[in-house]
Amino acid sequence: MKKTDVLIIGGGPAGIIAATTAKHTYPDKDVLLIRKEKEVLIPCGIPYIFGTLENSDQDVIPDTILSKDGVHLEIDEVISVNRKDKIARTVNGIDISFEKLVFATGSISYVPQWLKGTELENVFTVKKNREYLDEVKVKLQHCKRIVVIGGGFIGVEISDELNKIGKDVTIVEVLPHILCLAMDREIAIEAEKVIRARGVKLKTGIGAKEISGNGNVTGVLLENGEKVMCDMVILAIGYRPNSSLAKEAKLRIGYKGAIWVDEYMRTDDPDIFAVGDCVEKKCFVTRKLINVMLASTAASEARIAGENLYKLGVVKTFSGTIAIFSTVIGDTGFGSAGLTEEQAKKEGFDIVVGTSDSIDKHPGILSGAHKQKVKLVVAKKSGVILGGYVMGGISTGELINIIGMAIQNRMTVNSFLSLQIGTHPLLTASPMTYPIIKTAESLTWKVELGFRKEERQCQNGMKKGGISNE
Amino acid sequence: MKKTDVLIIGGGPAGIIAATTAKHTYPDKDVLLIRKEKEVLIPCGIPYIFGTLENSDQDVIPDTILSKDGVHLEIDEVISVNRKDKIARTVNGIDISFEKLVFATGSISYVPQWLKGTELENVFTVKKNREYLDEVKVKLQHCKRIVVIGGGFIGVEISDELNKIGKDVTIVEVLPHILCLAMDREIAIEAEKVIRARGVKLKTGIGAKEISGNGNVTGVLLENGEKVMCDMVILAIGYRPNSSLAKEAKLRIGYKGAIWVDEYMRTDDPDIFAVGDCVEKKCFVTRKLINVMLASTAASEARIAGENLYKLGVVKTFSGTIAIFSTVIGDTGFGSAGLTEEQAKKEGFDIVVGTSDSIDKHPGILSGAHKQKVKLVVAKKSGVILGGYVMGGISTGELINIIGMAIQNRMTVNSFLSLQIGTHPLLTASPMTYPIIKTAESLTWKVELGFRKEERQCQNGMKKGGISNE
């Protein structure tokens, strides 16, 4: 029988941060992280194993991130949790007693039942498993034509990487556009232009019906009867919460098979917490349950769990998921935070939207300058920012975080009018065209339209022909 | 007699934004911007005229920024303002009547009285005047050795540009380090390392006593008797508010000769507003009057003035200046927001500080990845963020804006623990090492130290040898 105070199951970002935060917060407690993988990959780096990085070795998270903070590590697999006696049993037959347990068991790549032919040779998913991905890389050497089923972030990033190393790549996406679960339609269309110009073929608005082949895959049959020939298929249709262990331990399971947690990241057992992809998510804006899996969200949840293990910190709760995505195609960055215009309308929000165009350096003639486009989705009555996107250069990743922060702080477009920002010719747009402020500014007229119109009419003695800002 | 509703004096960023905001907010009003310069330069782009840009032409703000929004433009110079009759008279003898007036008269480069030899040939300041700067560029062709007096942002940026085009450049800075009015000491030292490695010579902690020469400049004599030989001197010692017109109009003049304004950017005449470098600034954190001139701050003030001209918007006031600076030396970005550690201590704040190191892509092995360093200065009792800096790559400009937003929203380090951010391998640090969150996290232990220590002692039955987080 081994003994620890805090046991973390799972070695991805959520597990690591839960463990190190626990150790920081309760330095006298023993913290043990147990995981089955010999090595853990940086999950968002996985697509880049196929082109930009030389090999998967370069995408490994060093275990020193745990050891330097005094977290113990075991490579083993927990197969059952005895909640009554607070003991976890591993596949190697070791029993580990704990005071507090954290599930950080992550997610499993999804293979749809309705899709025929997924068992064929050279059909792969995007598993977060180094050996598996290394095998895909070996097989890739003999493949020329690849179909990627699923045009979300992972599918798009892998396609761009495979294209970069000379493969003939086709993305099959059943929705009208790639990336369109996260991005507004018009920006998804821009992303399509960029990736098409780089040589990736797109089949959008049409689903895959069957993967065909005889032993080896030979093609993908689409719903319209068209067949895309290929010698490898990558399924990038998403992930499902890995909650089987929690389920067997009779913990409450919530939306789409994810582990239910409260705002302190506690399961229905007060000594058991859960964080990351395996956990149910609630949208920050709509307050509805959603299906978003992001390392950055997981990190935030893990910090809260680590803090609250032994004593609840009240102010440190998780108040809902704001999906903040970013990606790069070629040299163009795409970022998205909160609700898209379409999502907001679907949810019944009374909104106004605005966009602005700028350049990420000033003057825009500077070498390396990249066009920027920003959109904000804003509640019409209150001016509160509900969502937005950024398309631009390398600073897109941090610009979308500024919009993310605005959403989290429930900032209004009015507050952006007096927002102070720093600008520099080589680093940002000019102070006169700084895109988030310009966009917010254009929206203040819309948000307050009723008031303004009336006021103007009074000033002008109800004269006709006033300019409408709608 | 000409007639306008709103008259803006000055054509820099503050004037432009005041004019366009006024026109947006009050579309039925005539807005006239009057300025003496035929063309206006992007002020922060000026240093880059000397190297990165081909010529000053590329740094001109296009007048379409005014015309497209329906703002009228006159090239002329206002020489007096008759407040009683609301008439401005120009140097060309034209009288312009107005309802509302906005001073955006900017600042004038400072030439110290105590410094001998400033009248010599080839001694220049950094005027925001295209013809003048073009003349400097012509003269530069025949100069090899240049002394830049003043190691603030402008001095450092110009020095780096002149070095880039092959000049032998020496910065003379009387303070112990370059950039040290805006930056913490340790980061100023890093900036010195970077600029020295690029070939710029530094004389810090020593003032210039005299510019020597006979007709033409031949050198700069330092306080310690050392003489730095040169054939050009650039004075980059700062700017003074251009408030003479306002003074003559008997408006209230405040700190260091700047125009006094309230939080709506009104002068003591309710129909006259003032914005930008010509206006008195109050520090957002210390509430003291300060001497900071930034285009981004001016932009924020100008938006507020433009909004409030005819009707006060109450919520849209300017609640003090947060100096947010950023610059680049070579490929290293430096950003600073709010108080430095030294300033905070000097002001008597009870603070804790923390730093963290990360890499701006993940995995860090990705090509083009740059080290990042973040520091936060935080109020010990409340955890409120008072200031911070970023050193890093190209995303430094937006990362420092995230810290700036945190200061403006009076966010605490605790709120950063649950802050959600988006991360991407090619755009940001990893979710596990995202530098602002990591820094904030390291400070939560310090902020709550008293509580934690006690709590731990209770848990451990007052056992000895608990780890101190101090």
ipTM of the complex, rounded to two decimals: 0.90
> Minimal Cα–Cα distance from B27 to chain A, Å?
7
Residue A404 burial by CB count (10 A; 0-12/13-18/19+): exposed, middle or buried? buried
Q: How far apart are CA A302 and CA A15, in angstroms?
A: 7
Q: Which amino acid is at A295?
A: A
Q: How far apart are CA B187 and CA B439, in angstroms?
A: 16
DSSP-based three-state secondary structure for B124: strand
Chain A touched by B308 (CB under 8 Å) = no
The owner of tokens 């004599």 is B221
CB within 8 Å of chain A, chain B residues 370-409: 394-402, 404-406, 408-409
Q: Which tokens sit at A246?
A: 């929690």
Please choose, from the candidates B347, B383, B321, B305, the residue with its C-alpha nearest in 3D space to the C-alpha of residue B8: B305
pLDDT in tens, A364-414: 989 899 999 999 999 998 899 999 999 999 999 999 999 999 999 999 998
Q: How far apart are CA B467 and CA B453, in angstroms?
A: 9
Query: What angle in degrees, to the nearest 10, is found between the helix axes of B13-25 and B295-308?
Result: 30
Contacts of A362 in chain B (CB under 8 A): 42, 44-45
Q: Is A328's CB within 8 Å of B427's CB? A: yes
Residue A187 has pLDDT above 50, yes or no: yes
pLDDT in tens, B272-322: 999 999 999 999 999 899 989 999 899 999 999 999 999 887 566 788 899
Residue A458 has pLDDT above 80, yes or no: no
Residue B109 has pLDDT above 70, yes or no: yes
> Minimal Cα–Cα distance from A400 to chain B, Å?
7
pLDDT in tens, A300-353: 999 999 999 998 876 667 888 999 999 999 999 999 999 999 999 999 999 999
A424 vs A464: which has the higher pLDDT: A424
* Count of A-B CB contacts under 8 Å: 280
pLDDT given for residue A164 in this prediction: 96
Chain B touched by A270 (CB under 8 Å) = no
Residue A75 has pLDDT above 90, yes or no: yes
Please choose, from the candidates B137, B133, B173, B127, the residue with its C-alpha nearest in 3D space to the C-alpha of residue B152: B173
Q: Is A398's CB within 8 Å of B395's CB? A: yes
Instruction: Tell me what the mean pLDDT of segment A28-34 comes to.
Output: 98
Residue B276 gets the label, from left (phi > 0), alpha (psi -120 to 50) or beta, of left
pLDDT given for residue B448 in this prediction: 60
Q: What share of chain B is helix, strand, coil (3-state, %, to 5)?
A: 30, 30, 40
- Arithmetic mean of pLDDT over chain B: 92
pLDDT given for residue A446 in this prediction: 77
| Inter-residue contact B97 to B3 (CB < 8 Å) | yes
Q: Measured between CB atoms, which of B24, B417, B434 is closest to A445?
A: B24
pLDDT given for residue A469 in this prediction: 35
Q: How far apart are CA B241 and CA B310, in angstroms?
A: 26
Q: What percent of chain B is predicted at pLDDT more than 70?
A: 94
- Arithmetic mean of pLDDT over chain A: 92
Poorest-confidence range of B179-188, B225-234, B414-423?
A: B414-423
pLDDT given for residue B455 in this prediction: 46
pLDDT given for residue A448 in this prediction: 61
Residue B456 has pLDDT above 70, yes or no: no
pTM for the whole structure: 0.91
Q: Measured between CB atoms, which of B366, B419, B422 is closest to A397?
A: B422
Residue A440 has pLDDT above 70, yes or no: yes
pLDDT in tens, B395-447: 999 999 999 999 999 999 988 888 999 999 999 999 999 999 999 988 887 77
In the sheet that B168-173 helps form, which strands lie side by side, from edge to edge? B123-125, B232-235, B145-149, B168-173, B201-204
The owner of tokens 């990558």 is A234
Sign of CA dihedral B430, B435, B437, B442: positive
Contacts of B108 (CB under 8 A, 6+ apart): B239, B240, B241, B242
Domains of chain A, start order: 2-108+240-308 (3.50.50.60), 123-237 (3.50.50.60), 328-452 (3.30.390.30)
Residue A454 has pLDDT above 60, yes or no: no
pLDDT given for residue B442 in this prediction: 87
Q: Is A327's CB within 8 Å of B300's CB? A: no
Contacts of B268 (CB under 8 A, 6+ apart): B251, B252, B260
Q: Is A363's CB within 8 Å of B42's CB? A: yes
Instruction: Tell me what the mean pLDDT of segment B111-132 comes to.
Output: 95
DSSP-based three-state secondary structure for B435: helix
pLDDT in tens, A314-324: 666 788 899 99
CB within 8 Å of chain A, chain B residues 317-356: 317-319, 321-322, 324-328, 333, 335, 337
Instruction: Tell me what the mean pLDDT of segment A217-222 comes to.
Output: 97
Q: What is the 3-state secondary structure (H, E, C) of B3-68?
A: ECCEEEECCCHHHHHHHHHHHHHCCCCCEEEEECCCCCECHHHHHHHHCCCCCHHHHECCCHHHHC
Residue to test with chain B: of A183, A421, A437, A451, most B Cβ within 10 A: A421
> Minimal Cα–Cα distance from B398 to chain A, Å?
6
Instruction: Tell me what the mean pLDDT of segment A123-148 comes to.
Output: 96
Instruction: Tell me what the mean pLDDT of segment A415-433 comes to.
Output: 91
